[in-house]
């Protein structure tokens, strides 16, 4: 209950409450009569206004002698006990004597000072201009570095390490994109299914106008990099431990098609090697969750293929197995110790895009599309056609080599 230590407004409120509250009066009386307690009162005038720190108007009014006598007296009492406000007043007076230009920023902030943080009305005009100029220079520098890094990335030919200039999005160059001296700089001219495709050094090309902008961008990107991109589904089709049940050991026969690949048809024809002395076969197809979606009837021993009785869901991954019956004994392929035989079906949007590619009669367009969709065998066939039509061109051989290397790594 050291009322003298409270700020003036809090002391006044506490006094008013004490005068009207009998409970607090009794408690206050008990405190006064308790010998173990020491009651301290501080009635010095400087403690009355010690929390009333100056604001901007009070600072300027005090410096310019524009305060009334009562306000000036109160501020003087506070100033006698507040070193922070003393420092601000000295700082402001020193700035006034230096005749600071009107547009020069002056800050009267007192770091860590409890209460108001004071700023003059002039907000760093000159420094702000310099900061904006510096930010503009930094942005120009960053953009320059990005452009240089893009232009400096090499694309290598198959038979040499000579960098080839990177390319840009599909479409012929325009005067808005390049200067007049750089327009129509042809990198290669490709023959493709009875049409001619002009490829520019900046990666754009003329031809295949019937394709969508997305398809043209994918083709341009392949021409830019010198190789084609492959989908992540190929990793999902890679060999893993089989979850099928059956006898241990290697398979007595192999599954031929589909074999860890993406296929176009949604009613695949499953094919496998014949098994000597087999009396029948049975085909099982499971989805990615392990749920059985196809189960054939017992097939005769002369039949080594089976067509799915209905269409499988496009865009999904499946696994399949075949059981051969020999002397009432079941032999499963792939064997439990071997990896699952998985395949994926081309998605519905990709199937529609493929129909558009077929209408273009372009080996380049189909080759790039097949590679992006994971149809590596089909991509290899189309790019081989493109190489045969352009035996002296580098780009088709680059694209074909990237597909062949991907097939070999699987």
For residue 367, pLDDT over 90 is answered with yes
Residues 212 and 265 in one domain: no
Do residue 251 and residue 390 come from a single domain? no
Percent of the chain with pLDDT over 70: 60
Q: Higher model confidence: residue 9 or residue 115?
A: 9
- Mean pLDDT over the full length of the chain: 74
Are the C-beta atoms of residues 47 and 81 closer than 8 Å to each other?
A: yes
pLDDT in tens, 225-275: 888 888 888 888 877 544 444 444 456 799 999 999 999 999 999 999 999
Residue 116 in any domain: the answer is: no
Q: Are residues 41 and 175 in the same domain?
A: no
Average pLDDT over residues 347-374: 91
Q: Is the pLDDT of residue 322 over 50?
A: yes
Asked whether residue 10 is assigned to any structural domain, the reply reads yes
Q: Is the pLDDT of residue 383 over 90?
A: yes
Of the residues 339, 363, 393, the one at which a domain ends: 339
Q: Which of 53, 69, 97 is the last residue of a domain?
A: 97
Percent of the chain with pLDDT over 90: 33
Mean pLDDT of 137-158: 52
Q: Does residue 133 sit within a domain? A: no
Which pLDDT score is estimated for 120?
39
SS3 for the chain is: CCHHHCCHHHHHHHHHHHHHCHHHHHHHHHHHHCCCCCCCCCCCHHHCCCCCCCCHHHHHHHHCCCCCHHHHHHHHHHHHHCHHHHHHHHHHHHHHHCCCCCCCCCCCCCCCCCCCCCCCCCCCHHHHHHHHHHHHHHHHHHHHHHHHHHHHCCEECCCCCCEECCCCCCCCCCCCCCCHHHCCCEEEEEEECCEEEEEECCCCEECCCCCCHHHHHHHHHHHHHCCCCCCCHHHHCCCCECCCCCCCCCCCCCEEECCCEEECCCCCEEEECCCCCCCEEEEEEEECCCCEEEECCCECCCCCEEECCCCCCCCCEEEEEEEEEECCEEEEECCCCCECCEEEECCHHHHHHHHHHHHHCCHHHHHHHHHHHCCHHHHHHHHHHHHHHCCCCHHHHHHHHHHHHHHHCC
pLDDT for 45 equals 53
Q: Is the pLDDT of residue 33 over 50?
A: yes
Domain assignment present for residue 125? The answer is no
Residues 231 and 352 in one domain: yes
**How many residues are recorded in the chain?**
410
Domain membership flag for residue 217: yes
**Domain shared by 235 and 366, yes or no:** yes
Q: Say which residue, 72 or 146, is predicted with more confidence.
A: 72
Give yes or no: residues 287 and 357 share one domain.
Answer: no
**Do 384 and 255 fall into the same domain?**
no
Most confident of 51-55, 125-129, 150-154: 51-55
Number of domains in the chain: 3
Q: Both 162 and 300 in a single domain?
A: no
**Do 271 and 226 meet the contact criterion of CB atoms below 8 Å apart?**
no
Average pLDDT over residues 345-366: 91
Q: Do 225 and 157 fall within a single domain?
A: yes
Q: In terms of residue numbers, what domain contains 62?
A: 3-97
> From its phi and psi, is residue 6 left (phi > 0), alpha (psi between -120 and 50) or beta?
beta
Task: Tell me the HSE value of 97 on the side-chain side, using a 13 A CA sphere.
Answer: 6
Asked which of 62, 82, 97 is the last residue of a domain, the reply is 97
Look at residue 147 and tell me if it is in a domain: no
* CATH number for 286: 2.60.40.10
Across the range 357-363, mean pLDDT stands at: 88
299 pLDDT higher than 90:
yes
The confidence score (pLDDT) of residue 377 equals 92
Q: Flag whether 121 is in a domain.
A: no
Which of the four pLDDT bands, split at 50, 70 and 90, describes residue 47? low
- Tell whether 355 and 395 lie within a shared domain: yes
Is 18 within the bounds of a domain?
Answer: yes
Both 226 and 265 in one domain: the answer is no
pLDDT at 346: 95
Per-residue pLDDT of 162-205, as tens digits, reads 333 334 444 444 434 444 444 456 678 899 988 999 888 777 88
Is there a single domain that holds both residue 285 and residue 326? yes
């Amino acid at each position: 209950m050291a009322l003298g230590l409270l700020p003036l407004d809090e002391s006044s409120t506490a006094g008013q409450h004490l005068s009207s509250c009998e409970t607090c009066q009794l408690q206050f009386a008990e405190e006064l009569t308790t010998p173990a307690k020491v009651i301290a009162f501080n009635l010095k005038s400087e403690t009355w206004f010690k929390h009333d720190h100056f604001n901007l108007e009070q600072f300027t009014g005090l410096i310019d002698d524009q305060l009334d006598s009562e306000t000036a007296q109160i501020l003087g009492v506070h100033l006698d006990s507040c070193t922070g406000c003393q420092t601000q007043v000295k700082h402001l007076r020193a700035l006034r004597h230096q005749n600071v230009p009107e547009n020069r920023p002056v800050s009267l902030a007192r770091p860590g000072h409890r209460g108001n943080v004071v700023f003059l009305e002039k907000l760093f005009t000159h420094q702000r201009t310099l900061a904006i100029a510096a930010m503009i220079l930094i942005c120009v520098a960053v953009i320059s570095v990005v452009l240089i890094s893009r232009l400096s990335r090499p694309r290598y030919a198959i038979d040499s390490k000579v960098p080839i200039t990177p390319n840009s999005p599909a479409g012929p160059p325009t005067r808005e994109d390049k200067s007049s001296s750089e327009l129509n700089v042809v990198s290669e001219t490709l023959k493709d299914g009875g049409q001619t495709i002009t490829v520019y050094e900046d990666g754009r090309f003329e031809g295949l106008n019937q394709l969508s902008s997305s398809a043209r961008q994918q083709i341009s990107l392949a021409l830019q990099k010198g190789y084609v991109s492959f989908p992540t589904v190929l990793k999902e089709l890679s060999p893993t431990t089989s979850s099928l049940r059956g006898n241990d050991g290697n398979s007595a026969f192999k599954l031929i098609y589909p074999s860890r690949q993406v296929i176009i048809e949604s009613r695949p024809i499953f094919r496998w090697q014949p098994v000597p002395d087999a009396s029948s076969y049975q085909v099982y197809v499971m989805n990615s969750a392990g749920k059985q979606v196809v189960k054939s009837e017992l097939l005769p021993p002369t039949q080594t293929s089976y067509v799915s009785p209905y269409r499988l869901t496009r865009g999904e991954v499946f696994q399949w197995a075949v059981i051969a019956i020999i002397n009432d004994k079941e032999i499963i392929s792939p064997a439990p110790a071997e990896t699952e035989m998985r395949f994926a079906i081309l998605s519905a949007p990709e199937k529609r895009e493929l129909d558009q590619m077929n209408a273009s009669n372009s080996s380049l367009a189909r080759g790039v599309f097949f590679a992006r969709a994971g149809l590596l065998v089909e991509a290899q066939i189309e790019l081989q056609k493109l190489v045969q039509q352009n035996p002296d061109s580098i780009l088709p051989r680059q694209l074909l080599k990237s597909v062949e290397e991907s097939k070999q790594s699987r």
